[in-house]
Amino acid sequence: MKLSIAAALLAAFLFPCANAHAQRDDQFAWGIGAGGTITSGLARDSHSNGPHGLIMFGIGAVDSPFGIRFDGMYSALGDRDNTTTSTDQGEATVFSFTGNALFNLYGSNTRIYFVGGIGGFWYNPDGAGTDAVNDFGVNAGLGLWIPRINGFVEGRWFNLYRAMPDPVTGLKGKKSARLYPITLGIMF
């Protein structure tokens, strides 16, 4: 009899603790996405808009508005036949890897979130006399989570430091490339 009372008391104390611990557990999600990349500024002078693909891995606590996400994005930019600049870059591929912070606006139950982070990029133009460049970049944007399909739509701003050549001097790696990827994705 004493053993069953001790077991009942032990169970009464352990089950609520296990439940509270489970509410703090992290969620892990990975996903894929695709969309279009819009060029801006000096990048627009050399490149036309192009498609991109995204693979992501996210970590977030249950019922928390904060999360962390790691993204790898591959973009293919077209050639803009611009004869007004001496630094035509031709077509280009851009690969970026970023670590991002996520913040759900107005708490954890909303569907709108802010994403922003830092990382590296590899910019590889194929025009005559061009070289691949890799450097530091930052990004920020807004997203909308779509619960029925466990998907998301987001628009972001990428600033790739020292990716573009100076249009006046032609020196490589002196100006920023600004890209705006719009992504539709799904998480698993």
> Is residue 18 domain-resident?
no
pLDDT at residue 7, as a whole number: 57
> Is residue 20 domain-resident?
no
Which of 159, 175, 136, 185 lies closest to 42 in space, CA to CA?
A: 175
The amino acid present at 157, given as its one-letter code, is W
Tell me the C-alpha distance between 105 and 85, whole Å. Answer: 42
> Is residue 79 domain-resident?
yes
In terms of residue numbers, what domain contains 130? 26-187
Which of 174, 161, 166 lies closest to 120 in space, CA to CA?
A: 161
Tell me the C-alpha distance between 72 and 120, whole Å. Answer: 10
Q: What is the pLDDT of residues 106-120, one digit of tens each?
A: 765 668 999 999 999
Q: What is the pLDDT of residues 89-103, one digit of tens each?
A: 889 999 999 999 999
What's the pTM? Answer: 0.81
What CATH code is carried by the domain that includes residue 86? 2.40.160.20
pLDDT at residue 8, as a whole number: 57
User: Are the C-beta atoms of residues 155 and 141 closer than 8 Å to each other?
Assistant: yes
> Is residue 86 domain-resident?
yes
> Is residue 170 domain-resident?
yes
CA distances from 53 to 34, 154, 158 (A): 4, 13, 15
Q: How many CA atoms lie within 13 A of 121 on its CB side?
A: 28
> Is residue 41 domain-resident?
yes
pLDDT at residue 101, as a whole number: 97
Q: What is the mean pLDDT of the chain?
A: 85
Count of structural domains, the chain: 1
